[in-house]
Amino acid sequence: MEMVYNKKNMDVIANLWDRTGENSMVCPKCGSKMILIQLDPIQDYQNPYVAYDSIIECTKCEYEIKTESFTILGSVKSFDLKEIEIASWSPSGSRVISCYEHILDYSLLKKLKDSGELKEFLVVNKQVVQIIG
């Protein structure tokens, strides 16, 4: 069992995701599908989301990564190749702009920014890795 939670691990997690959005996570050890499991919520009322202690685990072998994840509902305010700004709301209803690193597809982000659509972004270890809805 491998449990790591540090900066180096962020790169590992980023590499698990396939940028096309299909077949989202692949185990670096055996190539099987990996799944994200959200455990206990981490309480922090400052944030416009609820973060969870999470585990990304392989469905075949014992490889797993301990991490923190959350989803945030918002729209793309701005982005570049490395970072994205998401416009969302705090629990009290005020507008919040959050900035994260991302591994998303540039043309997809451009499309979302132009349309202003509300989407749910999956953030793992403070990095946007996938758009869910």
Residues that bind Zn ion (CB under 5 A): 27, 29-30, 32, 58, 60-61, 63
Instruction: Pull the structure tokens for residue 3.
Output: 């449990």
- Max Cα–Cα distance, the chain, nearest Å: 45
DSSP 33: B
Q: How far is the CB of 26 from Zn ion (least distance, A)?
A: 9
Cβ distance to Zn ion smaller for residue 15 or 32: 32
Instruction: Pull the structure tokens for residue 38.
Output: 């959200």
Opening angle at CA 47, ends 41 and 52, nearest 5: 20
Cβ distance to Zn ion smaller for residue 18 or 105: 18
Q: How far is the CB of 85 from Zn ion (least distance, A)?
A: 34
Cβ distance to Zn ion smaller for residue 33 or 110: 33
